[in-house]
Amino acid sequence: MHEEFASDRVEGKVKWFDPGRGFGFVVADQGGPDILLHANVLRNFGQSSVADGARVDIAIQHTPRGVQAVEVFHIEPPEATGTAPLSDFEEMDPQVLRDAPLEPARVKWFDKGKGFGFANIFGRQEDVFIHIEVLRRSGLAELQPGEALAIRTVEGKRGLMAIEVNAWETAVTRRPWPPL
- Convert the pLDDT of each residue in 105-154 to its tens digit: 999 999 988 889 999 999 888 899 999 888 888 888 889 899 889 998 98
Q: pLDDT of 92-110, one tens digit each?
A: 777 777 788 889 999 999 9
- Domains along the chain? 3-76 (2.40.50.140), 87-173 (2.40.50.140)
**DSSP letters along the chain, please?**
--GGGTTEEEEEEEEEEETTTTEEEEEETT--S-EEEEHHHHHHHT-S---TT-EEEEEEEEETTEEEEEEEEEEEPPPPSSSSPPGGGTTS-HHHHHHPPPEEEEEEEEETTTTEEEEEETT--SEEEEEHHHHHHTT-S---TT-EEEEEEEEETTEEEEEEEEEGGGGGGPPSS---
